[in-house]
Structure 1
Amino acid sequence: MKVIRILLGKIILLLNFLFPPKGIKRTSEAQQHADTKAKDLTLYQFEACPFCVKVRREMKRQSIAIELKDAKNNPQAREELQNGGGNIKVPCLKITSQGKEVWMYESSDIIAYLQKEFA
């Protein structure tokens, strides 16, 4: 089962590399505003997780750079995810706003949030 998971993960990464989504074009002011909003976001993810790839593709479509933390290979990121979000489940978007943190799980919810905030 582990071999199949590794193989499928590599195939997903290859397809994502070969067929990247196109990002939206914004004016420089609008892009600067989007970049400022994105600084309050952190995505905890695994590189080859299909749901994480789905979220990263939406980030590319929205032309936003969100900090990525690898919760599989980085023990500190894994601990942050466990302590902050309560689960080691990816993808998880940490939204920091006015000193409060919201931990959003589920790729569909994260994508809907990104579309609402950045489209």
Structure 2
Amino acid sequence: MKIIRVILGAIILFLDWITTPRGIKRTPELQKEVDNKTAKLALYHFKACPFCVKVRREMKRKSLNIVTYDVKRDEQRRQELLEGGGRVKVPCLRIEDEAGGVKWMYESSDIVEYLQQYS
């Protein structure tokens, strides 16, 4: 079963690589404004997870510079996801508001919909 996951993961990453979407071209000032708005977002993901790829592609399409953490390879971030979000499930978007409150959003479709506001 592990070999199948490895092969499928490699295929997913290869297809993602050859079909990477182009990002939105913005003026430097406008891009900086978008970067400031997304500065308190973080995506917890697995590199070869198809749902995570979906979210990362949307981030690329929208030219969103959101920090990403591969929780398969980073035990500290994995523990952070478990403690903060309550479970190790990816993709998960960590959203920190202006007051310092944190919300954890899990479903890829919900995350993509949330990212639409940064068009």
Do they fold alike, i.e. is TM over 0.5? Answer: yes
Deviations 1:69-119 (A, max 9, x none): 11111110000000000010000000001200000001000000001x211
Q: Distance in 2 between matches of 1:28 and 1:47?
A: 29
Counterpart position of 2:38: 38
User: What letter corresponds to residue 102 of structure 2 in structure 1?
Assistant: E
Query: Unaligned regions of 5+ residues in structure 1, if any?
Result: none
Percent identity over the alignment is 57
Q: 2:101 corresponds to which residue?
A: 100
1:1-119 pair list within 5 angstroms: 1-98=1-98, 99-115=100-116, 117-119=117-119
Could you tell me how far 1:65 is from its partner in structure 2?
Answer: 1.1
The structural deviation recorded for 1:27 is: 2.2
C-alpha deviation, 1:15, in angstroms: 0.7
SS of the equivalent of 2:57 reads helix
Partner SS for 1:93: strand
CA RMSD after TM alignment? 0.8
**Deviation digits for residues 33-78 of structure 1, max 9, x if unmatched?**
1111111100000001010011000000000111111111111000
SS in 1 for 2:90: coil
Q: What's the TM-score once normalised by structure 1's chain length?
A: 0.96
- For residues 67 and 21 of structure 1, the distance between their equivalents in structure 2, rounded to whole angstroms, comes to 18
- In structure 2, how many angstroms separate the alpha carbons of the residues matched to 1:70 and 1:27? 30
Q: How far apart are 1:28 and its partner, in Å? A: 2.0
Which letter maps to 2:24?
I
- Unpaired runs of 5+ residues, structure 2, are none
CA distance in 1 between counterparts of 2:28 and 2:43 reads 24
Using the size of structure 2 for normalisation, the TM-score is 0.96
Runs of 4+ in structure 1 deviating by more than 2 angstroms, as ranges, are none
| Equivalent position SS for 1:76 | helix
- The CA distance in 2 between the partners of 1:70 and 1:23, in whole Å, is 22
